[in-house]
Amino acid sequence: MRAADIVGTAVANSFRSRLRTSLTVIAIFIGAFTLTITNGLGTGINNYIDTQLSSLGASDVMTVTKPVEAALVGEGPAEYDPDAAAEVEANGPPGTTVTALDRDDLDTLRNLDGVASVEPAVSVRPDYVEWASGDSDRYEIAASALGSGMSIELVAGEPFSGDEPQVVLPTDYIESLGFDDNEAAIGETVTLGVTDATGEQHTLDATVSGVQEPTLFGSTASMNDALTSGLYDLQSIGLPDTESWASATLRLDEASTSDALKVELVDAGFVGTTVADQLGAFTTVVDGIILVLNAFALIALLAAGFGIINTLLMSVQERTREIGLMKAMGMSGGRIFALFSTEAVFIGFLGSAIGAGVAMGIGSVLSGVLANGFLSGLPGLQILAFDPVSIATVLLLVMGIAFLAAVLPASRAARQSPIDSLRYE
């Protein structure tokens, strides 16, 4: 019997006892459905987290600070040193846990192995934004520079280009500023106000290059380097002419890893954190919940595996004389084993394919309903997302469980004596 004949015969034999096979398929369906839904939940949440992280920084970008010595030691309270305290207070307010970085610190960071670039991080705090040529009110706004490796998902417009000041506005500012829609805001000029150290307010115009959905971290506008520098210079008027920064943005080269560089930074008196470090606990909790849900799905699949064993054992018993006849006609034990194991794999495939298909259909509808309803406050979140690789993994996993479940009954069929089988009543 050829391989194609074995597959065809196994498929036909699967439907000999339709009720028994259907009940087994239903059991597999429940496990595959649950596993597909939980995997889709994990994929959807992790995709959303990755999207939000990309708006904060890339995986190869690190924020570097210079903690005070007491924070680095970590061996209990340090004895008070008036000279050291005066040095710390000169670089920040009393009680601060970091000291300012200067040019020498930036040079030290650039000379570390594995560092591709280092740029000082500046903080800009605009007072308001208004449509320059429109009749709109002024609105408070939070803005941040689009740093190295960061990306934003635009609903209208294009990424930053050119050297003139540009800004990407959140969608919830468009109507308030007086624009008809997202597309109408592109290319328009808005005015941002900022107050300097003396209390005087200044303004700077910027072109709206794009519109983005608010992120998990709020409605924050994104600025290009020209706008960031312009606002920072206006904001710094009246401050002492000293070059110091609270932190720096460090980019790793392709050959280095963040873990190795963190060790170098500590040895040099710095501390580096990645975006993944900042949300590591959150992603760990999500992954843990998905793992628990997957465990329940696997328990259902294991129960379905025992159903397959029972189905095939009964099938072997019912077809004892048929097995004896096949052996008497020269069919080897290996071919008989392949016939029954293929039957089990087909049942597993049938149940898992139906379960995954139904899960994808229901999940897609449910995800859309939630995105427009209960989860509308989290724009861009698709709570259930189905990855083809994950779906294929579920199918292969279930078929593998089905094959393992078939080993016992298939081996029993393969070992049967043709004479005893033909005499079986």
> What string of DSSP letters covers 22-65?
HHHHHHHHHHHHHHHHHHHHHHHHHHHHHHHHHTT--TTEEEEE
Q: Decide if pLDDT at 94 tops 60.
A: no
CB neighbour list of residue 183: distance below 8 Å, 6 or more residues apart: 156
Q: Helix, strand, or coil here: 169?
A: strand
Give one DSSP letter per residue of 289-311, joined into a string. HHHHHHHHHHHHHHHHHHHHHHH
Q: Decide if pLDDT at 73 tops 60.
A: no
- Higher local confidence (pLDDT), 6 or 369: 369
Length of the chain: 425
In the structure, what pLDDT confidence band is assigned to residue 1 with cuts at 50, 70 and 90?
A: low
Q: What integer pLDDT is reported at residue 82 of this predicted model?
A: 58
Please tell me which of 35-44, 98-107, 324-333 the model is most confident about, judged by mean pLDDT.
35-44
In the structure, what pLDDT confidence band is assigned to residue 68 with cuts at 50, 70 and 90?
A: low
Span of 37-51, 128-142, 311-325 with lowest mean pLDDT: 311-325
Q: Decide if pLDDT at 92 tops 50.
A: no
In the structure, what pLDDT confidence band is assigned to residue 419 with cuts at 50, 70 and 90?
A: low
Q: What integer pLDDT is reported at residue 209 of this predicted model?
A: 93
Q: What integer pLDDT is reported at residue 89 of this predicted model?
A: 44
Burial of 391 per CB tally in 10 Å (0-12, 13-18, 19+)? buried
The model's pLDDT over 4-41, given as tens digits with 9 standing for 90+, comes to 777 887 778 777 777 878 888 888 888 889 888 888 88
Give one DSSP letter per residue of 228-288, joined into a string. HHHHHHHHTTTS-S---BSEEEEEE-TT--HHHHHHHHHHTT-EEEEHHHHTHHHHHHHHH
Give one DSSP letter per residue of 394-410, joined into a string. HHHHHHHHHHHHHHHHH
Q: Decide if pLDDT at 88 tops 50.
A: no
Q: What integer pLDDT is reported at residue 413 of this predicted model?
A: 76
Provide mean pLDDT across the span 75-103: 55
Q: Decide if pLDDT at 354 tops 90.
A: yes
Do residues 164 and 204 lie in contact, with contact meaning Cβ atoms separated by under 8 Å?
no
Measured CA to CA, the distance from residue 130 to residue 178 in angstroms comes to: 9
Give the other-Cβ count within 10 Å of 202's Cβ. Answer: 16
134 secondary structure, DSSP code: S
Q: Decide if pLDDT at 260 tops 90.
A: no
Beta bridge partners of 273: 63
To which residue do tokens 């470090």 refer? 277
The model's pLDDT over 230-251, given as tens digits with 9 standing for 90+, comes to 998 898 888 776 677 778 888 8
